[in-house]
């Protein structure tokens, strides 16, 4: 039995959960998310908590037990608080801007890179090169952040590029340091 799956999910004020036969919908002040239920699990909703119980002791059911609890907990947190990822643009002349549903990045290529944002995701770029990606779906927010970082990952020699806000890039010594 999964340790994560055993923990109950606290349901905050203003969040409604609807459980169908094979789908769970979470509605809150920031939006609506739904997830298909997988595995041999039973969902019990009490007043302000939601619990997942296994119907058998198979290995696959145990794996789905923790997975479904984590996914539904992320949905509850997303519709009540939301999720955010922050990226930092490092490098002389590197900059970005957010226009409508697009992030435009000038990161050393011969042309600006336009990155379209999916539905439900908002982005803002500050003057000092901090990109903030905000949304209610944790998986989509993380995926968008990873794809923006992939446009120009940090360079191993100078550290230029797009990195996560708290990411530490270990710089390699150059040729002249290697000779000495």
Six token digits for residue 180: 């000495």
Do 158 and 171 form a contact (C-beta atoms < 8 A)? Answer: yes
Write out pLDDT tens, residues 76-110: 999 999 999 999 999 999 999 999 899 999 999 99
Write out pLDDT tens, residues 11-32: 999 999 999 988 999 999 999 9
pLDDT of residue 21: 85
pLDDT of residue 3: 84
Q: What are phi and psi of 139, to 5 degrees?
A: -65, -40
pLDDT class of 75 with cuts at 50, 70, 90 = very high
Mean pLDDT along residues 159-172: 94
Residue listed under structure tokens 């230029």: 160
Short-list 89, 44, 102, CA closest to 69: 44
Six token digits for residue 82: 């939301």
pLDDT of residue 175: 83
pLDDT of residue 1: 58
Percent pLDDT > 90 in the chain is 82
Residue 149: which residues within 8 A CB-CB, separation 6 or more? 87, 162, 163, 164
Q: What b/e string do you get for 31-67 counting C-beta neighbours within 10 Å, with b at 16 or more?
A: eebeeebebebeeeeeeeebebebeeeeeebbebbbb
pLDDT of residue 107: 93
Three-class secondary structure assignment of 129-172: CEEEEEECCHHHHHHHHHHHHHHCCCCCCCCCEEEECCCCCCCC
pLDDT class of 47 with cuts at 50, 70, 90 = confident
Q: Show the domains of the chain with their CATH numbers.
A: 3-80 (3.90.930.12), 83-164 (3.90.930.12)
Residue 28: which residues within 8 A CB-CB, separation 6 or more? 12, 14, 15, 16, 76, 78, 79, 80
């Amino acid at each position: 039995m999964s340790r994560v799956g055993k923990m109950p999910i606290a349901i905050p004020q203003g969040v409604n959960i609807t459980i169908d036969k094979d789908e769970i919908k979470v509605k809150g002040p920031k939006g609506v998310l739904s997830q298909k239920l997988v595995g041999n699990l039973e969902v019990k909703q009490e007043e302000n908590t939601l619990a997942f119980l296994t119907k058998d002791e198979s290995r696959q059911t145990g794996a789905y037990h923790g997975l479904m609890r984590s996914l539904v907990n992320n949905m509850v947190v997303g519709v009540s608080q939301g999720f955010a990822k922050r990226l930092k643009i490092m490098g002389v002349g590197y900059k970005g801007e957010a226009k409508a549903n697009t992030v435009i990045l000038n990161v050393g290529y011969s042309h600006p890179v336009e990155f379209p944002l999916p539905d439900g995701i908002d982005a803002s770029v500050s003057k000092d090169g901090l990109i903030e990606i905000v949304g209610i779906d944790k998986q989509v927010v993380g995926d968008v952040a990873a794809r923006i970082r992939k446009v120009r990952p940090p360079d191993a020699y100078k550290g230029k590029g797009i990195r996560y806000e708290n990411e530490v890039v270990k710089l390699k010594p150059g040729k002249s340091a290697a000779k000495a």
